[in-house]
Structure 1
Amino acid sequence: MNTALTLTPPAIGEVWTGQGGIYAGIVPARSGAEAYHLVIGEELGRFEWGPYEVEAPATSLIDGLANTLALLEASDEYPAAKAVAAHQADGHSDFYLPAAAELYEAWLNLGYKDWGYLWSSSQRSAYFAFTMYFVDGIQYYDGKDNEFRVRPVRRLPIQ
């Protein structure tokens, strides 16, 4: 007998027991992708995004999972992506570096958090990648060779 597991999320901003972090709400469907629940994990530290003056294959503003996988397949020179890919919590190892839009959705849902600047997986150019300032909800971009905080995320299907 095949029984589907039904996941019931907690209130936004609460720890989602057994899921590796806090519940950051629903990321809406867009560009053909279905909506999903977003879980944001603990801060892993400060890391460089990757090499400066190098075009990276992480150009999606909405799909952090695809960006992270592309970075990991391209080279081992992407410290932020490597850190989230190595992260495990509550028995889960499917974490990734969130895209710019995923970080913005998390900020919309969670509101002010004293997390400072977080790297996204979204490259802006060979020189810059997008960041999210969680104190005021503004997205910026900065040199990929700078160190900013990294928080892994994972997605769960809406059932």
Structure 2
Amino acid sequence: MQAAEQAQITIPEIGAVWPGQGGIYAGFIPARNGAEGYHLILGDDLERAEWGQYGDESPATSLIDGRANTLALIESGGEYPAAIAAHKHEADGHADFYLPAAAELYEIWLNLNGKLAGWVWSSSQRSAHIAFVMDFDDGSQDLNGKDFELRVRPVRRFIQ
């Protein structure tokens, strides 16, 4: 992208729909562990799904990088319904959505507190039997059995 094109990008207020970006602007995730910072866009509320493969260890262990977790789950060839649903989501011509990590969900709750509700899956596995979940009602994070059905809220990144 040319410097002149970058200057024309208008970042909306947190909580507003970001036209052409596939969802609601959920804030900026700062650079961390060698990865660059990015704007987080929250996609539509999708169907309820199991996290998947109850009893199996998965490669999705990052608490901060949902994109890496989701790609690891997809590429493993396993049955991970929540990650698959997030990965298949498309909006405004974007097909790079993923299931957010536990830290990304917490950042969303901090920024959109009171604008979202209910329990959603993270892409962060805790063990062979449980994964991290987030309650947008009160900001609590917990663990749930991977065979339980919860809501899926995909996200995507915009790097400026």
With the shorter chain as reference, the TM-score category is: over 0.9
- Runs of 4 or more above 4 Å deviation: none
- CA 1:123–1:76 in 2, change beyond 3 Å: closer, same or farther? same
Displacement of 1:8 in angstroms is 2.1
Which residue pairs with 2:144 in the alignment?
Answer: 142
CA contact 1:76–1:82 (8 Å) conserved in 2: no
Q: Equivalents in 2 of 1:55, 1:76: separation in Å?
A: 11
Displacement of 1:26 in angstroms is 0.5
CA contact 2:15–2:112 (8 Å) conserved in 1: yes
Which residue pairs with 1:51 in the alignment?
Answer: 53
Q: Equivalents in 2 of 1:60, 1:112: separation in Å?
A: 26
Displacement of 1:66 in angstroms is 0.3
Q: Equivalents in 2 of 1:114, 1:103: separation in Å?
A: 11
- CA 1:55–1:76 in 2, change beyond 3 Å: closer, same or farther? closer
Which residue pairs with 1:109 in the alignment?
Answer: 111
* Amino-acid identity (%): 65
TM-score, length of structure 2 as denominator length: 0.94
CA contact 2:53–2:78 (8 Å) conserved in 1: no
TM-score, length of structure 1 as denominator length: 0.95
Q: Equivalents in 2 of 1:58, 1:114: separation in Å?
A: 25
- Counterparts of 1:13-32 in structure 2, within 5 Å, are 13-32=15-34
Where structure 2 has 5 or more consecutive residues not aligned to the other structure, the ranges are none
Which residue of the other structure, out of 100, 108, 111, is the alignment partner of 2:102?
100
> More deviation in 29-38 or 123-132?
29-38
Which residue pairs with 1:41 in the alignment?
Answer: 43
Q: Equivalents in 2 of 1:37, 1:114: separation in Å?
A: 18
Which residue pairs with 1:125 in the alignment?
Answer: 127
Q: Equivalents in 2 of 1:10, 1:87: separation in Å?
A: 22
CA deviation digits over 1:22-74, x for unaligned, max 9? Answer: 00000122111111100001101100001111000000000000000000011
Which residue pairs with 1:69 in the alignment?
Answer: 71
Displacement of 1:3 in angstroms is 2.6
Task: Tell me which amino acid in the other structure corresponds to 2:74.
Answer: L
Aligned-residue Cα RMSD (Å) equals 1.2
Number of residue pairs the alignment of both structures matches: 157
Which residue of the other structure, out of 61, 81, 85, is the alignment partner of 2:87?
85
Which residue pairs with 1:9 in the alignment?
Answer: 11
Displacement of 1:9 in angstroms is 1.3
Q: Equivalents in 2 of 1:28, 1:118: separation in Å?
A: 23
Q: Equivalents in 1 of 2:30, 2:118: separation in Å?
A: 24
